[in-house]
Amino acid sequence: MCYIGGSALQKCNGCKNQFRWKELLFSIWKSYSPIECSHCGKRHTISSVSKFIVSFLILVPAVVFGLLIAPEQGLSKPVTFFLIVLMAFVISIFLPLFVKYEYKKGS
Ligand SMILES: [Zn+2]
């Protein structure tokens, strides 16, 4: 995490303060709530491309698993649902690597 965190994570567009993994992850979990830079206080909102990527990375595996893999394995609906939630959770942990935030003036 230190290795990845040092290079690929989003930085503040104002002061180049590195956002933390936790901040980015919580923002995604709270349905893309804006991130305020802890250093300069500028608000950053997730880019629409990132929203698309996040939805894609969570939905596609969920759909493939739910419609193809689970029925083939004979999994019951509650088990399938649980595994999809678990999968989405695990995938979301890596999402801070893919998302980009933009600083919007006046927001
Ligand atoms: Zn800043």
Share of the chain above pLDDT 70, in %: 92
pLDDT at res. 106: 60
**Cα–ligand 1 centroid distance for 71 (angstroms):** 48
Q: Which tens digit of pLDDT belongs to each residue from 19-30?
A: 999 999 999 999
**Cα–ligand 1 centroid distance for 53 (angstroms):** 24
pLDDT at res. 5: 44
Q: Report whether pLDDT(6) > 50.
A: no
pLDDT at res. 71: 96
Domain of residue 66: give its range.
2-103
User: Looking at the 3D structure of the chain, how many domains does it have?
Assistant: 1
Average pLDDT over residues 60-65: 96
**Cα–ligand 1 centroid distance for 19 (angstroms):** 9
DSSP output for 25-71: HHHHHTTS--EE-TTT--EEEE-HHHHHHHHHHHHHHHHHIIIIIHH
Q: Report whether pLDDT(104) > 90.
A: no
